[in-house]
Amino acid sequence: MRRVPQRRSPFTFLAAVRRQAVLTAALCALGGIIVLGVLYSAALAGLLLAVLLGILAVLRAALPVRVVGALAVRSRGLDVAVLLLLAISLGVLSTSPNL
* 30-66 per-position pLDDT tens digit: 999 999 999 999 999 999 999 999 999 999 999 999 8
Within a domain: 32: yes
CA–CA separation, 40 and 44 (whole Å): 8
Q: How confident is the model at residue 99 (pLDDT cuts 50, 70, 90)?
A: low
Within a domain: 23: yes
Within a domain: 63: yes
Within a domain: 8: no
Pairwise pLDDT comparison (60 vs 1), residue with the higher score = 60
Within a domain: 2: no
Within a domain: 7: no
Within a domain: 3: no
Range of the domain at 90: 13-95
Per-residue b/e over 12-42, b at no fewer than 16 CB within 10 Å? eeeeeeeebebeeebeebeeebeeebeeeee
Within a domain: 56: yes
Query: How many independent structural domains does the chain possess?
Result: 1
Residue 75 φ/ψ, nearest 5 degrees: -70, 160
